[in-house]
Amino acid sequence: MIDLNIGRLIAQRYQLQELIGTGAMGQVYLANDLLLGGVPVAIKFLALSIQNNKIRVQERFEREAKTCALLGQKNIHIVRVMDYGVDEKSIPYYVMEYLQGESLSDVIRSQSLSLIRFLSFARQLCLGLQAAHEGIPVDGEICPIIHRDIKPSNVLVVPNPSFGELVKILDFGIAKLLQSDSSETNYYLGTWAYSSPEQIEGKELNNRSDIYSLGVMMFEMLTGKMPIQANTNSFGGWYKAHHFHPPRSFREINPLLEVPQELENLVMRCLAKKSSDRPQNISEILQTITSLEQLDSLAQPSTLCHKNLLSQLTSTPQNITEEECLNTDASSSELPSWPKNKPIADIVFPHPIRIHNQLTVALWVMLPKQEIEKRLQGTRYNQFLFLNAPHPMILWVTVLHSHEHTPKWLPYYLDLKSHQGIELARLLLETGCYKILLFARESPQRAFTYIQTEIASPQRQLLQQWITMSQRAVSTASPQFSRGLLKKELEKIKPQVIMKLAAVYKT
Ligand SMILES: Nc1ncnc2c1ncn2[C@@H]1O[C@H](COP(=O)(O)OP(=O)(O)OP(=O)(O)O)[C@@H](O)[C@H]1O
């Protein structure tokens, strides 16, 4: 059927190009903003005519559009609204940034999310919700905003060069300012399967209602299933389900599912029937998510790739200097060898290597062969600690961990007032990963194996901040002083890291 809207000009500015989708609340079109040279935008026409009850509805719509615009300005994880209006048929619409991505509902329908991906999505969702719950200034007062319809189809996952995947929350259009406007609390704005018990009862809502919906969504993201099912897909059915059916456990859905206990507990707390039993704010949820995410590099089984390495890395020029980087040639099939200017000893140092013409940081590690072998079935973890004063310095810690053996700590200090330190920090930030080249002390001619290691995006964000801060910093003591302080700090956090490693990787 021909869509007569295609080609239509809205507000003498936006030309409709194609229908992107239709939801319960209206239709979304891709359009070109002719005023800005044709940049693509998305326009949502609400399934609501403001002809009846005109002034009240128009006022409400305008207020919501403004709220949404302010929120989008405040946080990158909320879709940006640039304009709004009412068309000639009295249909309200709002204009958003056009996001070329996939709805989270499609993402989780087509594949299960890895733990790392889940944590990254959850963190971004929390950051968006946190900004909304913290509120925006309206008429000189800070008003918290509740979304009221958190569900996967209201979340878009957009590929992004800096974030990997950027998560954005849509449809804050139905969120209302938390004002004592009791005449509005009778509206039912939500989706039954994700609604909190208090929402389905029509009560006044606060941030903990969104936390319940987030709990339903996190459960679905992790298991692919809903935590609570209604006997009938009706208001009554869902009322009963949300009030009286306990959520299913992860094990009930899939006994093989490997989710850290801490995360399952968090999701279950979000799903508490009584709002006072849930996390009281998004910051509480974020704390757990980010602490698990900091371990995300260990959340993946370590990729100890003997075979793949052969096709990627090649022999080291025998005399590499600190200034030149190791060039590898994909056609050769040899592993790098230990630089001649380094002692045959258990040492760790970073040095960039070039793989397929791309510069990557490598951590060169020498250990007794037995020590390497013990950890071949293990995991790895990394963390960065920073001191801006008295001398800007990063402690970059890599841990090789396996259940049966003590963790191997591989610390390295990056002096941010030295050219080498700053360049390495920048390269780690840009590439978001590094290789650990493991050399056996008994046979240093060739690397024994290597491990690919990712740097979690919160850590990358911190690296970025630290590099900027350190440029402005004035050193007031010797680098050794900061090294000593960071070393002490590492000793303090070691037991915590070991505990988390053990908890996440319980068998
Ligand atoms: N800013 C945007 N850029 C690109 N696509 C968008 C944008 N906003 C919405 N969409 C897409 O348009 C489609 C319709 O969205 P809409 O929010 O109206 O419906 P829904 O979320 O599927 O249902 P509901 O109305 O129940 O929330 C969805 O596929 C959504 O991903």
CB 251 within 8 Å of CB 264:
no
- What is residue 291's predicted lDDT score, i.e. its pLDDT? 84
Give the number of other CB atoms < 10 A from CB of residue 202: 11
The ipTM, to two decimals, is: 0.96
Instruction: State which amino acid sits at residue 419.
Output: H
Per annotation, catalytic residue among 3, 83, 87, 149: 149
- State the DSSP code for 158: E
**Which of 63, 270, 140 is closest to 71 using CA atoms?**
63
Supply the angle between the helices 457-472 and 419-431 in degrees, to the nearest 10: 150
Q: What whole-number distance in Å separates Cα of residue 166 and Cα of residue 220? A: 19
pLDDT tens by residue, the chain, 507 residues: 788 899 999 999 999 999 999 877 789 999 999 988 888 999 998 876 555 556 666 777 777 777 778 888 888 889 988 898 888 888 888 899 999 999 999 999 988 898 889 998 999 999 999 999 998 887 788 888 899 889 999 999 998 655 568 899 998 755 453 333 334 444 455 689 999 999 998 888 899 999 999 999 999 999 999 999 999 999 899 999 999 999 999 999 988 888 999 999 999 999 999 999 999 999 999 999 988 876 654 334 333 322 222 223 222 222 223 333 343 433 334 578 898 888 999 999 999 888 777 788 999 999 999 988 888 777 788 889 988 888 999 999 999 988 778 889 999 999 999 988 999 999 999 999 999 999 999 998 888 888 888 898 888 888 988 898 888 888 888 899 899 999 998 998 888 788 777 765 554
The CATH code that applies to domain 102-308 is 1.10.510.10
Pocket test for ligand 1, best of 16, 20, 27, 195 (most atoms within 8 A of CB): 20
H or E stretch at 309? helix 306-312
Measure 183 CA to ligand 1 centroid, in angstroms.
28
Measure 21 CA to ligand 1 centroid, in angstroms.
6
- What is residue 50's predicted lDDT score, i.e. its pLDDT? 54
Q: Whose CA is nearest to atom 17 of ligand 1?
A: 23
3-state secondary structure at position 141: strand
Domain 1-98 has CATH 3.40.190.10: no
Q: Whose CA is nearest to atom 31 of ligand 1?
A: 103
Report whether 151 belongs to an annotated binding site: no
- What is residue 504's predicted lDDT score, i.e. its pLDDT? 57
The sheet carrying 155-160 orders its strands as 102-103, 155-160, 164-169
- What is residue 62's predicted lDDT score, i.e. its pLDDT? 78
Pocket test for ligand 1, best of 103, 166, 188, 192 (most atoms within 8 A of CB): 103
Where do the H-state alpha helices sit in 5-157? 54-74, 104-110, 115-134
Pocket test for ligand 1, best of 28, 44, 83, 156 (most atoms within 8 A of CB): 28
Gyration radius (Cα) of the chain, Å = 27
Q: Whose CA is nearest to atom 4 of ligand 1?
A: 99
CA angle 481, 487, 490 (to 5 degrees): 145
Q: What whole-number distance in Å separates Cα of residue 458 and Cα of residue 463? A: 9
**Which of 200, 154, 207 is closest to 178 using CA atoms?**
207
3-state secondary structure at position 381: strand
Which ligand 1 atom lies nearest to the CA of residue 156? 31
CB 30 within 8 Å of CB 20:
yes
Strands 405-415 and 393-402, by their bridges, are: antiparallel
Determine whether the shortest distance from the Cβ of 99 to ligand 1 is under 6 A.
Answer: yes
Give tens-digit pLDDT for 17-26: 999 998 777 8
- State the DSSP code for 334: -
CB 210 within 8 Å of CB 194:
no
Tokens of 374: 């013990």
- What is residue 203's predicted lDDT score, i.e. its pLDDT? 87
H or E stretch at 224? none
Which ligand 1 atom lies nearest to the CA of residue 171? 17
CA angle 359, 362, 363 (to 5 degrees): 160
3-state secondary structure at position 475: coil
Determine whether the shortest distance from the Cβ of 25 to ligand 1 is under 6 A.
Answer: yes
Q: What whole-number distance in Å separates Cα of residue 89 and Cα of residue 51? A: 9
Torsion sign across C-alpha atoms 212, 75, 136, 187? negative
> What pTM, to 2 d.p., does this model score?
0.62
End-to-end Cα distance, the chain: 56
Determine whether the shortest distance from the Cβ of 98 to ligand 1 is under 6 A.
Answer: yes
Determine whether the shortest distance from the Cβ of 49 to ligand 1 is under 6 A.
Answer: no
Pocket test for ligand 1, best of 18, 39, 150, 170 (most atoms within 8 A of CB): 170
Which residues in 275-334 belong to E strands, given as ranges? 303-304, 326-327
Measure 19 CA to ligand 1 centroid, in angstroms.
10
CB 291 within 8 Å of CB 500:
yes
Provide the β-strand partners of residue 86.
92
- What is residue 173's predicted lDDT score, i.e. its pLDDT? 57
Measure 401 CA to ligand 1 centroid, in angstroms.
44
Measure 28 CA to ligand 1 centroid, in angstroms.
6
Give tens-digit pLDDT for 279-331: 999 999 999 998 887 665 433 433 332 222 222 322 222 222 333 334 343 33
Measure 153 CA to ligand 1 centroid, in angstroms.
7
3-state secondary structure at position 496: helix
Determine whether the shortest distance from the Cβ of 72 to ligand 1 is under 6 A.
Answer: no
CB 164 within 8 Å of CB 455:
no
Where do the H-state alpha helices sit in 75-224? 104-110, 115-134, 197-200, 207-223
Measure 158 CA to ligand 1 centroid, in angstroms.
13
Q: Could you tell me the residue ranges of all domains in the chain? A: 1-98, 102-308, 318-506
Q: Do domains 1-98 and 102-308 have the same CATH topology?
A: no
Active site includes 149?
yes
**DSSP code per residue over 382-411:** EEEEEE-SSS-EEEEEEEEEETTEEEEEEE
- What is residue 472's predicted lDDT score, i.e. its pLDDT? 80
